[in-house]
């Protein structure tokens, strides 16, 4: 039986003057218990609302997932191109001698929603890793706070995932004067465009969702630690609709795709959502990234 689609969530319009007035009145009638700040009281109210609505929310989410699965099944049945593009997991993977570390030492800089998003992105990296024709193992570093808690409650099977190592060690614990040259911190904030992914290197991706609130965070960390830095050569190949700061899971997946085609343009186009990539005649030829920046893209 086909389930009814849930109504799409839309951004709330700005409050009308009547609504503002209503809120003002409601505020006057608030009864805040003595000894509790308004901020704390609002927090308690929010928690209470969550407790009252969480069952419905979870039910809605289950329905949404079910509908997504139905749509996928339908597409797999009817859309040949889509069916061919959904790669099967390879039986064996080609060695690269490249490692990826996701640096999750930024747990404290994220709110709970961002922690959930980060946990989902790591799961998405795991899926990309399993489907890639090349071996690109992942270490999750500083996995010892809220991100870990999230996994323990929502994805407890993570401990049996293969090729991905969740560990509490920090990045600093892995680096010695002898092995420092093997590490490259990836960051959009350097001018050093990466040309290719090299054997023997460990590429570090920042494990943070911050909508770029914390500018230069990874750049400064890598600089302090004296690590090499590189950015993906986005500006040389494509033009994107926003700043060149990508989410962690896209960065990892682009690396997987690059190994499969050895072509950055193709890797970007395969991974980045079409809405992010500016299509058209002015798609980039091999152009220097700095030039792209000067043009104000
Ligand atoms: C959402 S970004 C984090 C942004 C954060 N404000 C920062 O300072 O890096 C997640 C991570 O993806 C990697 N990343 C994002 N865009 C990149 C790019 N254009 N080139 C290289 N790495 C990138 C970086 O490792 C970054 O830490």
Atom 26, ligand 1: residue with shortest CA distance: 206
Least confident of 1-15, 67-81, 200-214: 1-15
CA distance 52 to 58: 12
| pLDDT surpasses 70 at 167 | yes
The active-site residue out of 189, 193, 210, 244 is 210
Task: Give how far Cα 73 sits from Cα of 89, 264, 293, Å.
Answer: 18, 31, 42
With tokens 């969550």, the residue in question is 50
CA distance 137 to 130: 9
Least confident of 87-91, 130-134, 157-161: 87-91
CB-based contact 255:232 (threshold 8 Å): no
Atom 24, ligand 1: residue with shortest CA distance: 187
| pLDDT surpasses 60 at 280 | no
Per residue in 133-165, pLDDT tens? 999 999 999 999 999 999 999 999 999 999 999
Angle at which helix 112-131 crosses helix 146-154, to 10 degrees, equals 70
| Shortest-distance atom of ligand 1 to CA 234 | 19
Confidence of residue 275 (pLDDT cuts 50, 70, 90): confident
CA of 79 to the centre of ligand 1 (A): 34
With tokens 């009814």, the residue in question is 4
CB-based contact 115:210 (threshold 8 Å): no
**Joined tokens for residue 9:** 């969530």
pLDDT at 30: 87
Q: Which domains does the chain have, with CATH numbers?
A: 106-294 (3.40.1280.30)
**Which helix H or strand E contains 294, and what residues bound it?**
helix 289-294
Let me know if 210 is a catalytic residue. Answer: yes
Q: Is the whole model's pTM more than 0.75, yes or no?
A: no
CA distance 288 to 297: 13
Who's near 203: CB < 8 A, 6+ residues apart? 98, 99, 100, 101, 184, 186, 197, 230, 255
Sign of the Cα pseudo-torsion (99, 167, 144, 222, in order): negative
Residue 189's SS3 state is coil
Specify which residues 134 forms β-bridges with.
Answer: 94
**Ligand 1 pocket at CB < 6 A:** 186-188, 205-206, 208, 210, 212, 214-218, 231-232, 234, 244-248, 251
Q: Is 147 annotated as a binding residue?
A: no
Residue 165's SS3 state is strand
Pairing of strands 228-230, 138-141: unpaired
Task: Give how far Cα 54 sits from Cα of 43, 51, 60, 112, 161, Å.
Answer: 16, 6, 10, 15, 29
């Amino acid at each position: 039986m086909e389930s009814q689609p849930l109504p799409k969530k839309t951004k709330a319009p700005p409050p009308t003057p009547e609504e503002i007035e209503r809120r003002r009145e409601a505020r006057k009638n608030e009864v805040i218990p003595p000894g509790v700040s308004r901020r704390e009281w609002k927090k308690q109210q929010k928690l209470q609302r969550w407790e009252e609505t969480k069952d419905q929310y979870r039910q809605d989410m289950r329905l949404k997932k079910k509908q997504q699965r139905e749509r996928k099944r339908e597409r797999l049945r009817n859309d040949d191109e889509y069916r061919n593009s959904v790669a099967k997991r390879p039986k064996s993977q080609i060695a690269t001698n490249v490692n990826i570390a996701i640096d999750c030492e930024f747990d404290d800089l994220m709110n709970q929603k961002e922690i959930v998003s980060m946990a989902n992105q790591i799961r998405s990296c795991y899926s990309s890793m399993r489907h890639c024709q090349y071996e690109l193992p992942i270490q999750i570093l500083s996995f010892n706070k809220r991100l870990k808690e999230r996994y323990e409650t929502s994805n407890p099977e993570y401990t049996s995932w293969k090729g991905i190592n969740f560990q509490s060690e920090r990045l600093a614990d892995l680096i010695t004067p002898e092995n420092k040259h093997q590490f490259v911190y990836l960051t959009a904030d350097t001018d050093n465009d990466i040309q290719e992914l090299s054997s023997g290197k460990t590429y570090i991706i920042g494990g943070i969702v911050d909508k770029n609130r914390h500018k230069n965070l990874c750049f400064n960390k890598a600089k302090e630690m004296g690590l090499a830095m590189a950015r993906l050569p986005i500006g040389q190949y494509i033009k994107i609709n926003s700043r060149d700061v990508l989410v962690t899971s896209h960065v990892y997946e682009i690396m997987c795709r690059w190994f499969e085609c050895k072509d950055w343009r193709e890797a970007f186009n395969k991974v980045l959502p079409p809405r992010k990539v500016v299509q058209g005649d002015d798609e980039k030829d091999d152009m220097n990234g700095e030039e792209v920046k000067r043009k104000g893209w």
